[in-house]
Homo-oligomer: A and B are copies of this chain.
Amino acid sequence: MSAHLIDSEIYGHLWGTDEVRELFEERAKVQSWLEILTVLAEAQAHLGIIPTRAAEAIRAYADVDNLDLTQVATLTRETGHSTLGLIRALQEALPEGAREWVYYGATVQDLTDTWTSLVLTQVTSVLRRDVARAVAAGRRLATRHADTVMSGRTHGQVGLPITFGFKAAVWSDELSRHQTRLEQVLPRVARAQLGGGLGTMEFWGDQAIPLLTEFSDRLGLGAPGIPWLTARDGMAEFVSVLGMVTATFGKIGQEVYQLQRPELGEVSEGGVAAVGSITMPHKINPEISEHLVTLARVVRPHSGMALEAMLHEHERDGRAWKTEWLFLPETCILSAAAVSMGSRLLEGLQVDEARMLQNLADRKGYVLSEPVMRELSTVLGKHAAHDVVYRSARRGLERGVSFEEQLRSDPAIRALVPDAALRAALDVTRALGAAPEFARRAGRRGTHE
């Protein structure tokens, strides 16, 4: 049984996806570490640093199923060393001729940093796949609802009408920039680590740099120009990109949460929950949307931790480096949950076009003060028109009449704006500006630019 929510049997599905959580599970991690040690041995055998037979034996026996993890744990506590427990248990599992050739000259950070690079590469693939789904869903919404009129809101107040497709287009536009970011950050993260104790690769003498290349190539990782034991900028950037990705899904969730209020009722999460509130059976809560905000909040602070972890002292600094052990898996697992839920939310989003129109209508036309002002501007000038319309709108709101009724009863306006122009200015479908065009353009974009 576990104490952290990420590992919770009951609630874990809200705080991660199985796919990404499994990458970080202890057993899978140890297996991946063993694979790295095997590849290291093979690269070393290839360069004649260790016997080929030793490498073959390591390939054959270095398997988590051959280890007793409880023994590894006990040895780790006893030695007070991060990998010595594992190495000793592994040596027992290996045939005699291989025992001395495993983990040959490497240090714990070579192992864990290389693993981190590999696992972040896998996480990046998962995230790119799901962000692409979200972008596609956003573009479909942009196209389908390019002309779906709804209230635009600033400062929580209704301003002019917009279209729902316009809103979705802003989302897909932002999400597509994250595709670029994930692509750009990858080569700065997917780099092998092989420095030995101090990063100088001293143990391997003249074969140091060839070994670095061979090891990196075999793992499908980049070979760094110099070991990055103390250069953690790649990690910080990665965490920051994931912070941005989850923030965008948090924004989308927040929007749905607000628009799903019964007083607005413009969109709602697709899936009808099987059960509502326990005490209030009539309620349907925006569970996913709300949780996307939660996830954005708990991922966000990791970017600060990652920036702090960049301040390594000397050639290795456990104070800084060990913080990554905690926040990197957490960031990845939580972000995977956000991206997965967020793309499903977009794919299943319900849009209530009638309610959108009704909400606009409930504002009695006042949201069209700008088109009226623009009409008047041609006669009075813009700022003068603003003052006239502003005063009239305030008066109408006080009187409780519709904007049209107010405007028709205001001699200052009646005198200046012809009836037809007024009618046109008070038509919500003519007050959408470039919203439909922006939406359609976003919808058409086939790939991210």
From residue A429, how far is it (CB to closest CB) to chain B in Å? Answer: 12
A362 to B358, CA, bound (A): 14
B-chain residues with CB within 8 Å of residue A160 when the two chains form the complex = 197-198, 200, 202, 280
Q: Which of B198, B304, B310 contacts A248 (CB 8 A)?
A: B310
Asked whether any CB of chain B lies closer than 8 Å to the CB of A420, the reply is: no
Tell whether, in the assembled complex, residue B281 and residue A369 are in contact, meaning their CB atoms are under 8 Å apart: yes
Asked whether any CB of chain B lies closer than 8 Å to the CB of A347, the reply is: no
Asked whether any CB of chain B lies closer than 8 Å to the CB of A342, the reply is: no
Tell whether, in the assembled complex, residue A108 and residue B278 are in contact, meaning their CB atoms are under 8 Å apart: yes
Tell whether, in the assembled complex, residue B433 and residue A204 are in contact, meaning their CB atoms are under 8 Å apart: yes
Tell whether, in the assembled complex, residue A198 and residue B384 are in contact, meaning their CB atoms are under 8 Å apart: no
Binary CB contact string for chain A from 427 to 444 against chain B (1 if under 8 A, 0 otherwise):
000011111011001100
A5-B162 CB under 8 A given contacts A260-B156, A319-B297, A383-B87: no
> Which of A9-17, A127-135, A408-416 has 4 or more CB atoms under 8 Å from chain B?
A9-17
A278-B199 CB under 8 A given contacts A26-B9, A314-B255: no
Tell whether, in the assembled complex, residue B170 and residue A10 are in contact, meaning their CB atoms are under 8 Å apart: no
Tell whether, in the assembled complex, residue A152 and residue B73 are in contact, meaning their CB atoms are under 8 Å apart: no
Asked whether any CB of chain B lies closer than 8 Å to the CB of A236, the reply is: yes
Binary CB contact string for chain A from 100 to 115 against chain B (1 if under 8 A, 0 otherwise):
1101110110000000
A170 to B234, CA, bound (A): 13
Number of interface residues of A (CB under 8 A): 191
Chain B residue with Cβ nearest A432: B200
Asked whether any CB of chain B lies closer than 8 Å to the CB of A182, the reply is: no
Tell whether, in the assembled complex, residue B69 and residue A9 are in contact, meaning their CB atoms are under 8 Å apart: yes
Q: 7 nearest interchain CB pairs?
A: A100-B381, A202-B433, A200-B433, A154-B316, A281-B390, A153-B314, A301-B301
From residue A205, how far is it (CB to closest CB) to chain B in Å? Answer: 7
Tell whether, in the assembled complex, residue A433 and residue B201 are in contact, meaning their CB atoms are under 8 Å apart: yes
Q: Which of B178, B234, B283 contacts A157 (CB 8 A)?
A: B283
A287 to B316, CA, bound (A): 13
B-chain residues with CB within 8 Å of residue A383 when the two chains form the complex = 87, 91, 99-100
Tell whether, in the assembled complex, residue B2 and residue A7 are in contact, meaning their CB atoms are under 8 Å apart: yes
From residue A232, how far is it (CB to closest CB) to chain B in Å? Answer: 9
From residue A33, how far is it (CB to closest CB) to chain B in Å? Answer: 11
Binary CB contact string for chain A from 72 to 107 against chain B (1 if under 8 A, 0 otherwise):
110011111111111100010000000111011101
Q: Which of B254, B314, B397 contacts A152 (CB 8 A)?
A: B314
Q: Which of B21, B362, B394, B441 contacts A225 (CB 8 A)?
A: B441
Tell whether, in the assembled complex, residue B327 and residue A298 are in contact, meaning their CB atoms are under 8 Å apart: yes
Chain B residue with Cβ nearest A188: B177
Asked whether any CB of chain B lies closer than 8 Å to the CB of A40, the reply is: no
B-chain residues with CB within 8 Å of residue A208 when the two chains form the complex = 433-434, 437
Asked whether any CB of chain B lies closer than 8 Å to the CB of A263, the reply is: yes
Tell whether, in the assembled complex, residue B162 and residue A199 are in contact, meaning their CB atoms are under 8 Å apart: yes
Asked whether any CB of chain B lies closer than 8 Å to the CB of A389, the reply is: yes
Known A-B contacts: A153-B261, A196-B370, A298-B327. Give 19 more (CB < 8 A). Answer: A2-B4, A4-B6, A99-B383, A101-B382, A103-B278, A152-B314, A155-B316, A159-B197, A159-B280, A159-B316, A166-B200, A202-B434, A240-B243, A251-B313, A262-B363, A280-B370, A290-B319, A303-B307, A304-B304
